[in-house]
């Protein structure tokens, strides 16, 4: 498959980059003797929310770090918007780096900076010429966009609840108006209601801002509620990608256990109930 990418003309590569913001071929990642990924392939379609699942330690976060160029792979190709991340010139890399936003696992806000200052970090990095007045305005806008009250902008992370911290992290991820958003376990640690609200926000922002989302999660409710497709990491590869009904047909034991287990059935029931309520409400309107 990798020859396919190699043989494309620039024009075709650009077109591929439009339809598939992320294309991965033959990715191998290892730490010492431990191979995390081996000949892994994955395509992410433009405009989709792709859920990425897999047992703990299967390499979901490492995969994300590879795509954003923080983890140099042993071999393989990773294209983001048609640019080869693993071979990019430094300035070429910058041209792509400001087209994505990242919410790292655990949130990772700078604790000594206010929420607004956190949001301004990537802005200052990529647009050092912006005035402080404009930086403040953009930060305030991003804070409100993620459903936080305006006052949250001047608060420190320690003054926020877990759910508010996630929103603040999302505001920072959206600082550069990205086309591509990486979310690593965004609802981990939130109560089910907070998690569901965050999911709703993700879906709404994806649709209104035209984002493509790479969403790592353990949260079955999130998968059912907002993911267009789900990629399953196991055996050092992406062993399947598809809608949940498609994955239910897959015989792989991990997939069966995960999507047909008791927790999955509970998530399906919640999702079906939600849809029924929606239909009911729209019928009455």
Ligand X SMILES: Nc1ncnc2c1ncn2[C@@H]1O[C@H](COP(=O)(O)OP(=O)(O)OP(=O)(O)O)[C@@H](O)[C@H]1O
Q: What residues line the site for Mg ion (CB under 5 A)?
A: 60-61, 105
Residues 18 and 179: beta-carbon distance below 8 Å: no
**Pick from 22, 49, 62, 109: which binds ligand X (CB under 6 A)?**
62
- Which structure tokens are listed for 93? 């890399």
Which of ligand X, Mg ion, none interacts with 54 (beta carbon under 5 to 8 A by kind)? ligand X
Query: Of how many residues is the chain composed?
Result: 285
Candidates 38-46, 57-65, 113-121, 205-213; binding stretch for ligand X (CB under 6 A): 57-65
Examine residue 220 and tell whether it contacts ligand X (CB under 6 A).
Answer: no
On the CB side of 214, CA atoms within 13 Å amount to 30
CA-based torsion, 67, 247, 242, 227: positive or negative = negative
Applying CB under 6 A, the site for ligand X has a residue count of 11
Smallest gap from Cβ 70 to ligand X, in A, equals 10
Q: How far apart are CA 245 and CA 51, in angstroms?
A: 14
Angle at 179 between CA 144 and CA 154, to 5 degrees: 25
**Pick from 5, 27, 42, 60: which binds ligand X (CB under 6 A)?**
60
Q: How far apart are CA 149 and CA 138, in angstroms?
A: 15
Closest CA to 184 of 28, 76, 53, 85: 53
Examine residue 149 and tell whether it contacts ligand X (CB under 6 A).
Answer: no
Residues 52 and 231: beta-carbon distance below 8 Å: yes
**Pick from 1, 57, 272, 276: which binds ligand X (CB under 6 A)?**
57
**Pick from 7, 9, 56, 158: which binds ligand X (CB under 6 A)?**
56
Candidates 5-13, 17-25, 56-64, 159-167; binding stretch for ligand X (CB under 6 A): 56-64
Candidates 50-58, 82-90, 199-207, 236-244; binding stretch for ligand X (CB under 6 A): 50-58
Tell me which residues touch ligand X (CB under 6 A).
31, 36, 54, 56-62, 105
């Amino acid at each position: 498959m990798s020859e396919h990418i190699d043989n494309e003309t620039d024009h075709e590569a650009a077109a591929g980059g439009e339809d598939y913001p992320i294309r991965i071929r033959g990715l191998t990642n290892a730490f010492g003797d431990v191979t995390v990924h081996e000949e892994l392939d994955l395509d992410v379609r433009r405009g989709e929310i792709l859920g990425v699942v897999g047992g703990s330690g299967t390499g979901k976060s490492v995969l994300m770090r590879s795509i954003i160029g923080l983890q140099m792979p042993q071999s393989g190709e990773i294209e983001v918007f048609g640019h080869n991340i693993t071979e990019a010139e430094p300035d070429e890399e910058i041209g792509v780096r400001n087209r994505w936003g990242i919410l790292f696992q655990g949130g990772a806000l700078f604790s000594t900076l206010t929420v607004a200052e956190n949001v301004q970090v990537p802005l200052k990095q990529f647009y050092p010429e912006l005035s402080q007045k404009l930086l403040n305005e953009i930060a305030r806008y991003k804070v409100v966009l993620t459903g936080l009250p305006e006052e949250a902008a001047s608060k420190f992370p320690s003054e926020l609840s877990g759910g508010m911290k996630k929103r603040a992290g999302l505001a920072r991820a959206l600082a550069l108006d990205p086309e591509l958003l990486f979310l690593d376990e965004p609802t981990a640690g939130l109560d089910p209601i907070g998690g569901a609200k965050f999911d709703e926000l993700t879906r709404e922002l994806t649709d209104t801002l035209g984002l493509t989302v790479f969403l790592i999660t353990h949260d079955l409710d999130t998968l059912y509620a907002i993911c267009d497709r789900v990629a399953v990491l196991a055996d050092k590869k992406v062993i399947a990608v598809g809608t949940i009904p498609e994955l239910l047909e897959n015989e792989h034991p991990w997939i069966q256990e995960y999507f047909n287990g008791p927790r999955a059935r509970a998530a399906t029931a919640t999702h079906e109930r939600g849809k029924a309520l929606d239909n009911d409400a729209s019928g009455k309107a």
